[in-house]
Structure formats: C-alpha cells, structure tokens
C-alpha cells in the first residue's frame, strides 16, 4: 500500500501538494530530493529490469464546500486528457456518465509523443497547432500551451517529475489541482453533484466502498498496471512474473463475471470503469505490443461481453478513440517499436450485442 506525506519547500501556485511514498522511495522536497524526469515510461525500470510506475504529485481535491480552496463550481475546471491514455479516459468516462461534460470542459492532446521543449530530448504530450491538424485533438484553449509539460511549468517553477495526463486544471488560480486519476474520479463522483446532470449516479456507494477498494487494488496491480509491467520489462524474469499475475487476475475476473453483471455485484461501480479502460485496449494494443498474447479478451466469454456492455453505456463509446490509442502506443516508444508500424486489426465491434442482461439491469 502507498502512504501519503505532505511535501513542503515546494513552490507551486497552491500551498500544499501531497506526495505519495512507496516502500522504496520518498519524494521529499525539503531534502531537495526531486523526481527524476524520465524521457518516457520505458525509462521507469529498476535495476532488476522491472517496470516501476512513479507516484502522482499534484494531489489537491475539489470540494463541494464553497469555502474550500478548490470549490466545485460550474465552468471553473478543465480536464486535459489524451484519448490514448487509459488513466485519462476513465476521468472522461466519469464526465460523460455523471453529466458533467457541460460544467467541466476538456481538451485532448495529440496521440503521438513529440519533443516538448527545445534544448532537451524529453518527449511527451503535445497540443496541435490547430483543430484541423489532428482529428480529436485541440489546441490548448486556456493557456495557449504547446505541451502538457508547459502546463506543469505554469503550475510550478521547480517541478521535475513526469508530465502526465490527466490534468485537472483550475481556471481561476491557473494551476493544477490534481494529476492523479483515482482522486479525480472521486471528485467527479460526489463533489460536483449540485451541477451534474446525473447526480443520482453513485459509482462509489457507501455499502460497497470496502469491496470497491479491495477490487481496485488487485485489478490495478494485476491488470491496469500489470500490462505495463509486462510491456516495459527489460528482463525475462520480471516479465514472467508480471504476465503470470496478469492472467491469474484476468481469470479471476472471468470467474466473478460468470456469476454477476459487474465486478462488485449487479451494480455498476468505479471498479468497472477502471477495469474497462484496460480491457478496451487489450486486444488492439496490449496483446501485441506488450506481449500479453497468451489469451485475448475476445477469448474470454464473460470479460468480452462485459466490455461490450460497458462500451454501450450512454456516453462511453465517445471516450474510446481507437485510432488515437493505436497511434500512441505503436508510435511513441521507439525502443519497443522502432519502425512505428501499426497493426491493422483486429477492429473488434464493441457495439455488437452482448449477453449481460441475463443478470438484470
């Protein structure tokens, strides 16, 4: 489990940032320990050859309390995201499901990483120059930023971590509220209900919270982050360990979904959205690109129909841009795919009928 500490001696535009610490590292700005800027996710590997995802740094929270530092207000916040990124797309899925996409604006970056700044070799998320340059992507409408990295520079003069999406941006204070998708999901679920078009939808209901947290933990470790641990492993041992756990966890999901419509029962919850964003990318990308080819999602009857079921929820299909997904993965990591060639298939039709109604609505 990860712990939370408060970092001081840091100079963003907001007073405090909470920084998570793992069992191996603590990021303490008082001691002038900074997060290493990686050129790409491939660089985040340990000496053992295993992939190790760094923690998010901006961990502030929007609150329904009007006196809070970041009160929930219509048209105050903006979600910067990428259709390629599963972590960002689960936030967009919440905007759609909760009916917040009119109150909280959003912008997608281009799918393929490019150099973010003259003078170094860092590659990352870039905004198009115009809306005509890249279908599905838009220029930054708020700050005129050329890259996500530039937004981090605006929010903090001495930030040296990874320049990731999603970014929840406060238009009033011109700063990053949060770059941690799990926190953003909780904000969107409960804190904006006074302005949401679908406030009754609760994806983190109190009676199921302990169960959701438990499921989230093993799904994240085995599947959400598990596919990355497979794909970015640079030695056989860590890959074998990760891929074994991945398929054990997929088998566990398949068994659960043979008995109920969703992961935590017959009610759609946060756990389902978090799993869905990985499943929808699996056959098109992870099975090939991340060497997760033992078995594809379409070979699991329950997981496959479950994926179609969630894809067909109102608004969810609009969060899936398979062209952006495939172009990003196959085109942004030259150490994995030097040629940048994109496989043509399998082009699965997730709008096809599914059998999940057998468990009821």
Binding site residue list: 125, 162-165, 180-181
85 catalytically annotated: yes
Total Cβ atoms within 10 A of residue 128: 18
Instruction: Give the Å distances, CA to CA, from 210 to 2, 22, 217.
Output: 17, 22, 11
Phi/psi of residue 51, nearest 5 degrees: -80, 135
Of all helices (H) and strands (E), which one includes residue 81?
A: strand 77-81
* Numbered residues of the known binding site for glutathione: 125, 162-165, 180-181
* Active-site position among 29, 51, 83, 85: 85
Residue showing tokens 């838009």: 138
**E strands within 153-305?**
167-170, 175-178
Measured over the CA atoms of residue 192, residue 197, residue 203 and residue 208, the dihedral's sign is positive
Q: Tell me if residue 157 falls in helix, strand or coil.
A: coil
**228 among known catalytic residues:** yes
Rounded (to 5) percent helix, strand, coil in the chain: 35, 10, 50
Q: Active-site positions?
A: 85, 228
């Amino acid at each position: 489990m990860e712990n939370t500490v408060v970092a001081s001696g840091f100079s963003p535009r907001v007073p405090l940032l909470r920084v998570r610490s793992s069992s191996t590292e603590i990021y303490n700005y008082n001691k002038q320990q900074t997060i290493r800027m990686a050129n790409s996710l491939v660089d985040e590997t340990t000496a053992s050859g295993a992939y190790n995802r760094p923690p998010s740094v901006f961990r502030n929270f929007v609150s329904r309390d009007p006196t809070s530092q970041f009160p929930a207000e219509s048209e105050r916040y903006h979600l910067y995201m990428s259709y390629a990124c599963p972590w960002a797309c689960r936030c967009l899925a919440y905007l759609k499901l909760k009916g917040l996409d009119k109150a909280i604006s959003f912008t997608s970056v281009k799918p393929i990483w490019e150099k973010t700044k003259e003078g170094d070799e860092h590659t990352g998320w870039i905004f198009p120059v115009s809306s005509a340059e890249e279908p599905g992507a838009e220029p930054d409408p708020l700050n005129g930023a050329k890259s996500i990295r530039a937004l981090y520079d605006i929010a903090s003069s001495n930030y040296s971590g990874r320049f990731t999406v999603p970014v929840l941006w406060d238009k009033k204070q011109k700063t990053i509220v949060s770059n941690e998708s799990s926190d953003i999901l909780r904000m969107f679920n409960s804190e904006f209900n006074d302005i949401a078009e679908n406030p009754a939808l609760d994806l983190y209901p109190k009676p199921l919270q302990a169960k959701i947290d438990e499921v989230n933990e093993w799904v994240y470790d085995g599947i959400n982050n598990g596919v990355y641990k497979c794909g970015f492993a640079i030695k056989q041992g860590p890959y074998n360990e990760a891929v074994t756990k991945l398929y054990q966890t997929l088998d566990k999901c398949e068994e659960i979904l043979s008995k109920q419509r969703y992961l935590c029962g017959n009610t759609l919850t946060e756990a389902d959205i978090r799993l869905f964003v990985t499943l929808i990318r699996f056959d098109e990308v992870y099975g090939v690109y991340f060497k997760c080819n033992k078995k594809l999602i379409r070979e699991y009857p329950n997981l496959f129909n479950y994926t179609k079921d969630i894809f067909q929820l109102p608004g969810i299909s609009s969060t899936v841009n398979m062209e952006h997904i495939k172009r990003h993965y196959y085109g942004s990591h030259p150490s994995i795919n030097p040629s940048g060639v994109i496989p043509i298939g399998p082009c699965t039709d997730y709008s096809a009928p599914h059998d999940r109604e057998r468990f009821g609505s």
